[in-house]
Copies of this chain bind each other. A is one copy, B any other.
């Protein structure tokens, strides 16, 4: 179901669902056009989230707590997505490193040249 129906069923605002999605608490499917699709599992999850909130937990804490187990189902896809994210970020960093003096960066980051080089190799493996 789309965000409107989902939010109503969950008893929260669309903006709340939006927020949870942005911070990665909910991970809906996406249509080709970008529309989010939430399922029954998401519904159970958000109800649990609202429960935890009344217990005084912060969203990030809830995320950590929930992130520990419910990944058995579709962990492969999830890992795939995470890999994409990480790859993008590695790209960013390497981009920065190229614009900077590599040696100086290494010094300030307290990382050895080998590790930096290693990082670069890894990136090549994934691209």
**Which A residues have a C-beta under 8 Å from some C-beta of B?**
67-68, 71-72, 75-80, 82-83, 85-86, 89-90, 92-93, 96-97, 99-100, 104-105, 108-109, 111, 115, 118-119, 121-122, 125-126
**CB contact under 8 A between A108 and B76, given known A86-B93, A93-B83, A93-B86:** yes
Residues of B within 8 A of A125 (CB): 115, 118
In the assembled complex, the Cα of A76 lies from the Cα of B107 at a distance in Å of: 9
From DSSP, what is the main secondary structure of chain A's interface residues?
A: helix
Q: Which of B79, B99, B105, B121 contacts A96 (CB 8 A)?
A: B79
Listed by A's residue number, 20 A-B pairs whose Cβ atoms lie within 8 Å are A67-B92, A68-B99, A71-B99, A71-B100, A72-B100, A75-B100, A76-B100, A76-B108, A79-B105, A82-B92, A83-B109, A85-B89, A86-B86, A86-B89, A86-B90, A86-B93, A89-B89, A118-B122, A118-B125, A122-B122
